[in-house]
Amino acid sequence: MTKLPNWADIVLVPLVSLLFAAIISALVLLAIGQDPVAAMNVMVTGALGSPYGWGYTLYYTTSFIFTGLAVTVSFNARLFNIGGEGQAQMGGLGVALVLLSLPVWPHWTVALVAAALGAAAFGAAWAAIPAYLQARRGSHIVITTIMFNYIAAAVIVYMLVDVLRPPRQMEPASARFPEGAALPTLHDIPGLSLIFTREVPANVTLFIALVAAFLVWVLLWRTRLGYQIRAFGQSEPAARYAGIDPFRTIMITMLISGGLAGLMAVNNVMGEAEKLVQNSSEGAGFIGIAVALMGRNHPFGVLVAAFLFGFLYQGGAELGLWTTIPIEMRIVVQGLVILFTGALDVMVRMLLARLFFRKPPPEVAVAARERA
Amino acid sequence: MGFYADLLQILDSTLRLSTPLLFACLAGLFSERAGIFDIGLEGKMLIAAMASGAVAALTGTVWMGLGAGILASLCLAAIHGVASITFRGNQLISGVALNFLASGITVLVAQRLFGQGGRTPALSGDARFGEIVLPLTETLRPVPVIGPFYADVVSGHALLVYVALLCVPLTWWVLFGTRFGLRLRAVGENPGAVDTAGVSVIRMRYTAVLITGILCGFAGAYMATALQAGFGKEMTAGRGYIALAALIFAKWRPWAALWACLLFGFFQALALRPDVVENVLTVKVPVPALDALPYVLTVLVLAGFVGKAIPPRAGGEAYVKER
Amino acid sequence: MTTNPAIELRGISKAFGPVQANSDINLRVERGTIHGIIGENGAGKSTLMSILYGFYKADAGEILIGGQPVAIPDSQAAIRAGIGMVFQHFKLVQNFTVLENVVLGAEDGALLRPSLAKARKLLADLARDYELEVDPDEVIEELSVGHQQRVEILKALYRQADILILDEPTGVLTPAEADHLFRILRGLKEQGKTVVLITHKLREIMEITDAVSVMRRGEMVATVTTAETSPEQLAELMVGRKVLLRVDKTPAAPGRTVLEVENLRVSDADGVERVKGISFSIRAGEILGIAGVAGNGQSQLLEVLGGISPATGTVRVNGDAIDLSGRHSNGQTRRARGIAHVPEDRQHLGLIMDFMAWENVIFGYHHDPAYQKNRLIMDNAGIVREAQAKMKRFDVRPPIPTLQAKSFSGGNQQKIVLARELERAPDLLLVGQPTRGVDIGAIEFIHQRLIELRDAGKAVLLVSVELDEILSLSDRIAVMFDGRIMGERDPAATNERELGLLMAGIAGEGAAA
């Protein structure tokens, strides 16, 4: 296979893929009678043109970092965890159950730790069953996790309508979380309050997300466990040869992955909504897939990609407000990004190779001859 | 109403609800037997539903709608084909991506055309597939047990229901009685064998992918023009994935696929009559539980509680000539 | 008057980027002969045959079949030109019947039933004429490898091939099956067919071919009449210098027993017993060579000892039993007990091709606390340094630890694996097909290292399908057939004929239970 220089592989390929996605998105906009340039303008001003916009962009970015990391961890073990959406929703359930268990919380830091544990535990538990089925029975994790997304939605509906809904409330939602469980937003943080002069949804969870990204990097490339996960993801037979237990690896990977997806709920359920509602994750679990693919399954790439999608999300919301472009446009972009970065990356590579090397690309000589 | 009458109504719904599953399942059958893993049945169905709902509303003719639905599905199928076959990309990711694409584009186009919040207008008259009353329905109705069964369950369905049922023996014959079918099955098991025999692996796989597109087109069009009267956001609600589960359940065989789809359709029908379920089980079953039933069953199928399923050997892998 | 040659290649060249796989090849294969083509890995034999069969288009040159120039842009053209190819890895659909496989692509009409009926009759005729009896309704997975190969030949004959090309056909056959194949080939020759035999086995060339062409580094180096040459001369032509076909070694001085295997039984994933109760032992300072055709249980034996698969029976290492099927039956505990494993399949088991060389150097030993900087983090920098030192010691070229494993040649990949396993100074080294796909220079190096390990007082279990290698390296030889040990022999007191009989399941004196 062609070998682009390393920097091109890591930076240029996703960039070019993104360009393709952007071009096709623009074409779609034209096809439905909209102006792509004007749309871009609205998006940029709405998402990045003011601290208020940034407050929203960063808020979405936080969620996408978590779901992107979740998919990244699982992808490194060659497990396609498409269940981030369901795991995030169950994480929300965990947050709600934990926070509603006390009438009042002494301090938001205590509440944060407790809620985070609950979120991660519920998310991990929701990932555990598909993980077990894949590890023990070979059931394809893609389909089982997708099914569990639907089942999670049903469970949440049931919980909200029949269990968590306060009496005499019509809306299927939980009660508001008690005092002491409110997280400081970026507006509340001394120093940052000078920039974010109005209430914004972005909150301290952002910093937790950044730390999580660093920890995932350390895990995958600096620890034994990470080495085992990556080796297993490359080749299960080789992993068994090396004494790496497939069952354990699959379970641990998916528990971490589900836990990360669940943690997202701290951002939106605890940090913003302050109660549990239906469909709390609003598609963030799926965006995590696009983020991980664009970020080449590397935590640093995830940070960049999550920011990009945060911009897209907030920009898309602004489009919905100020133009007649439906909010579903951002799902189209999401699909295009996944398509180009995930499935058509060979096409992008081939094009770049043609640019880099005027004649057919060279291969490492002896290895190539041996295959001839 | 009587238990038998309730049963008939549920069976009638079963047939109605199984039809999109059956079309999608057979679609997936062709694709997977040729070695292309297609998780994008959902997206193809959805875009077909939107296209057929839109065109049927605009032209007033359901046949134009059907054609549009098939065309739309073929577009997505072609992209999946190019990504998977020509560019040897990851077939799972391609399918997932196209599902998202369909999710978004369907709403965008519907909104652009009709401005009804992402729906297409309600269809009626010639813009829908109406119920077909089979011959002898009324004469047979008085016959005990069989009469009402024939009248209410077998007869009175839209044309596409019967087409779907006919597709089962047709698929069986194509796969096992023709040269094309032999080659198709071979391509999914050992593409090298086909290639060295001088048959184009790429052409076979593209053909399979196109057949998938056509059948998904029928599935989506049926949903918008027969099962319901128009397209609505996310109306497929995971049926594409359920069809995949049915396919695995059926171990990639056409006749077994029919029974699998009927079973899943039955569960979907049950969810519409929680009262009957309660009467039979004498216990209150929360509605979300019934809604979740098809998905839970899918997981059980995949967990192998219904036997080991061995997929086509070369499934999901791009073919690279041995050098 | 001379008839036109069956195949004539003039000036065939083919390059892949900077690699010149075939360079100005000229070849004449006379009709009605068996013509051998030999060469090392990377010599260009496969490329040449791929061009003949239409997989590649030559950059330059002409192909003449029966004196007529032909263009072969795809397999169909090759088939039309009367060329049939039997690949090393069979191109058969496992769950189709023989009949369906033969007919695939050559069906007569769009409907299957009449095609199959017609084919059945033709197949019966062919089978009879060429001694290729096979049951047409048998499913391929149920057939033995030898019978599967017959199906491949039938496929070619069914398509009226005049020229049959066989690529490394005997690698998976017992000597008896190989003899039967040669009978078939001679029969084909008598019927006027032309056979091209691609192989690296010099003995086979000598035994069955009429002429042999030697390829080296993309060039056709020589074509000689078989009767006028010798294995030594051919080997020298293949490599370009005098080749040591035997390793120099001092006699063994074995010590205490390191490995004892008693009544080992292994069943595969389908429940079929592949190792049927074997017993043997190996002492320190000794190499036990397990000879046998691939597929007779040797792979399973290695997997069990390596901790990859479960088994029943008793295995003792240095006197202590090891767990064969429980929680402690895995690669990690095996290594902890002093067993190192150079697997048969280095590309899929022994190495992670996309990992860098330094990551592969710790593969299997990543639990070693020496590789940790502290409880949580690994000492990557230290590992890289050590990897480079190991690579230099084992002559891995280039000694760059940050290069991905897939960028190294087969021989260098194998050296990385060996560097990893040998430098652990294991009490017992398991090694399977150590020189498969490795060029001759590296083969000598690898053989030397194995002897060194044995001289250092370690025990080595060597599994190889190459009898030369077994005879050259082993201090004792055990032959496996159908999951059993047919007999043990002293290499100095046996020969290939005797071993071949054992490999084919024909028990001689001294057969082990």
Interface membership of C87 toward B (CB under 8 Å): yes
pLDDT band at C281 (very low <50, low <70, confident <90, very high): very high
Do C166 and C308 lie in one domain? The reply is no
Q: Look at residue B323 in the predicted model and tell me its pLDDT.
A: 44
Q: What is the mean pLDDT of residues B27-51?
A: 95
pLDDT digits (tens, 9 = 90+) for C464-481: 988 888 988 999 999 998
Residues 422-481 of C with CB under 8 A from A: 437
pLDDT digits (tens, 9 = 90+) for A151-183: 999 999 999 988 888 888 888 899 899 888 889
For tokens 């071919």, the residue is C209
How far is Cα of residue C385 from the mean position of the Cα atoms in its chain?
34
pTM listed for this prediction: 0.84
Interface membership of C373 toward B (CB under 8 Å): no
Q: Look at residue A372 in the predicted model and tell me its pLDDT.
A: 39
Neighbours of C494 (CB within 10 A): 18
Do C127 and C267 lie in one domain? The reply is no
Measured in angstroms, the CA of A231 and the nearest CA of chain C are apart by 7
More confident residue, B154 or A131: A131
Do C97 and C221 lie in one domain? The reply is yes
pLDDT digits (tens, 9 = 90+) for C7-50: 999 999 998 877 788 889 999 999 999 999 987 766 788 888 88
Do C261 and C234 lie in one domain? The reply is no
Q: What is the mean pLDDT of residues B243-263?
A: 91
Q: What range defines the domain where residue B105 resides?
A: 3-131+142-236
Q: Look at residue C241 in the predicted model and tell me its pLDDT.
A: 59
Sign of CA dihedral A256, A258, A264, A265: negative
The answer to whether position B291 is within a domain reads no
**Considering C211, C239, C267, which residue would you say is the last residue of a domain?**
C239
Q: What is the mean pLDDT of residues C405-409?
A: 87
Q: Look at residue C248 in the predicted model and tell me its pLDDT.
A: 72
The answer to whether position C374 is within a domain reads no
Q: Look at residue A367 in the predicted model and tell me its pLDDT.
A: 45
Q: Look at residue C42 in the predicted model and tell me its pLDDT.
A: 64
Q: What single letter denotes the amino acid at residue A230?
A: R
Q: Look at residue A370 in the predicted model and tell me its pLDDT.
A: 47
* Neighboring chain B residues of A148 at a CB cutoff of 8 Å: 295, 299
Q: Look at residue C19 in the predicted model and tell me its pLDDT.
A: 74
Q: CA-based diameter of chain A, in Å?
A: 76
Do C33 and C153 lie in one domain? The reply is yes
Q: Look at residue A366 in the predicted model and tell me its pLDDT.
A: 43
pLDDT band at A85 (very low <50, low <70, confident <90, very high): very high
With H, G, I as helix, E, B as strand and everything else as coil, classify residue C220: strand
pLDDT digits (tens, 9 = 90+) for C135-190: 999 999 888 888 899 999 999 999 999 999 998 888 777 777 888 899 999 999 99
Contact B179 C110 (CB under 8 A): yes
Q: What range defines the domain where residue C270 resides?
A: 257-347+426-503
Sign of CA dihedral C212, C213, C216, C218: negative
Burial class (CB in 10 A: 0-12, 13-18, 19+), A261: buried
Measured in angstroms, the CA of C203 and the nearest CA of chain B are apart by 26
Reply yes or no on whether the pLDDT at A1 is more than 70.
no
Contact C18 A238 (CB under 8 A): no
The answer to whether position B169 is within a domain reads yes
The answer to whether position C386 is within a domain reads no
With H, G, I as helix, E, B as strand and everything else as coil, classify residue B286: coil
Do C210 and C303 lie in one domain? The reply is no
Residues forming beta bridges with residue C273, ordered by sequence position: C267
pLDDT band at C257 (very low <50, low <70, confident <90, very high): very high
Q: Look at residue B281 in the predicted model and tell me its pLDDT.
A: 82
Reply yes or no on whether the pLDDT at C435 is more than 90.
no
* Paired sense of beta strands C459-464 and C286-291, if any: parallel
The answer to whether position B137 is within a domain reads no
Interface membership of C378 toward A (CB under 8 Å): yes
pLDDT band at B73 (very low <50, low <70, confident <90, very high): very high
Residue to substitute from C302, C366, C431, interface A, most A β-carbons within 10 A: C366
Residues forming beta bridges with residue C20, ordered by sequence position: C15
The answer to whether position C509 is within a domain reads no
Q: Look at residue C407 in the predicted model and tell me its pLDDT.
A: 86
Do C173 and C263 lie in one domain? The reply is no
Contact present, C436 and C344 (Cβ < 8 Å): yes
The answer to whether position B287 is within a domain reads no
Tokens for A6, please give them.
């390393």
- Report helix, strand and coil shares of chain B as percent, to nearest 5: 70, 0, 25
Of A33, A139, A339, the CB nearest to B303: A139
- Counted domains in chain B: 1
Measured in angstroms, the CA of B181 and the nearest CA of chain C are apart by 9
* Neighboring chain A residues of C410 at a CB cutoff of 8 Å: 370
* Neighboring chain B residues of A326 at a CB cutoff of 8 Å: 107-108, 111, 118
- CA dist A40 and A42 (Å) reads 5
Residue to substitute from B37, B99, B295, interface A, most A β-carbons within 10 A: B295
Do C235 and C262 lie in one domain? The reply is no
Nearest to B291 by CA among B232, B242, B225: B242
Domains (ranges, CATH) in chain A?
A: 1-34+324-372 (no CATH), 59-312 (1.10.3470)
Contact C349 A231 (CB under 8 A): no
Q: Look at residue C41 in the predicted model and tell me its pLDDT.
A: 63
pLDDT digits (tens, 9 = 90+) for B279-320: 888 887 888 888 888 888 888 887 877 666 667 777 777 777
Reply yes or no on whether the pLDDT at A365 is more than 60.
no
Interface membership of C91 toward B (CB under 8 Å): yes
Contact B101 A371 (CB under 8 A): no
* Neighboring chain B residues of A126 at a CB cutoff of 8 Å: none
- What share of chain C in percent tops pLDDT 70? 95
Of A223, A238, A245, the CB nearest to C348: A238
Residues forming beta bridges with residue C378, ordered by sequence position: C372
pLDDT band at C420 (very low <50, low <70, confident <90, very high): very high
Lowest mean pLDDT among A264-268, A354-358, C298-302, C487-491: A354-358
The answer to whether position B313 is within a domain reads no
How far is Cα of residue A65 from the mean position of the Cα atoms in its chain?
5
Average pLDDT, chain A: 89
Nearest to B261 by CA among B16, B25, B9, B29: B25
The answer to whether position B223 is within a domain reads yes
Q: Look at residue B280 in the predicted model and tell me its pLDDT.
A: 81
Do C193 and C308 lie in one domain? The reply is no
Q: Look at residue B132 in the predicted model and tell me its pLDDT.
A: 86
Average pLDDT, chain C: 88
The answer to whether position C373 is within a domain reads no
Q: Look at residue C2 in the predicted model and tell me its pLDDT.
A: 60
Lowest mean pLDDT among A342-346, C112-116, C309-313: A342-346
Do C286 and C192 lie in one domain? The reply is no
The answer to whether position B266 is within a domain reads no
pLDDT digits (tens, 9 = 90+) for A308-343: 999 999 998 888 888 888 888 888 998 998 899 888
- CA dist C39 and C234 (Å) reads 9
pLDDT band at C511 (very low <50, low <70, confident <90, very high): very low
Do C34 and C156 lie in one domain? The reply is yes
pLDDT band at C510 (very low <50, low <70, confident <90, very high): very low
The answer to whether position B311 is within a domain reads no
pLDDT digits (tens, 9 = 90+) for B95-116: 989 999 999 999 999 998 998 8
Q: What is the mean pLDDT of residues C428-436?
A: 92
Q: What is the mean pLDDT of residues A13-21?
A: 88
Kindly list the strands in the beta sheet with C211-216, ordered across the sheet, starting from the edge strand earlier in the chain. C83-86, C163-167, C194-198, C34-39, C211-216, C219-225
Interface membership of A367 toward C (CB under 8 Å): yes
Tokens for C392, please give them.
């230099």
Do C218 and C273 lie in one domain? The reply is no
Interface membership of A240 toward C (CB under 8 Å): yes
Nearest to C111 by CA among B168, B208, B182, B196: B182
CATH number for the domain spanning C446: value is 3.40.50.300
DSSP H stretches of helix in C131-190: 145-158, 175-190
Reply yes or no on whether the pLDDT at A304 is more than 70.
yes
Reply yes or no on whether the pLDDT at A89 is more than 80.
yes
Q: Look at residue B151 in the predicted model and tell me its pLDDT.
A: 80
In sequence order, what E strands does C53-92 have?
A: 60-65, 68-69, 83-86
Lowest mean pLDDT among A261-265, C200-204, C244-248: C244-248
Of C354, C362, C407, the CB nearest to A364: C407
Q: Look at residue B1 in the predicted model and tell me its pLDDT.
A: 53
Reply yes or no on whether the pLDDT at C245 is more than 70.
no
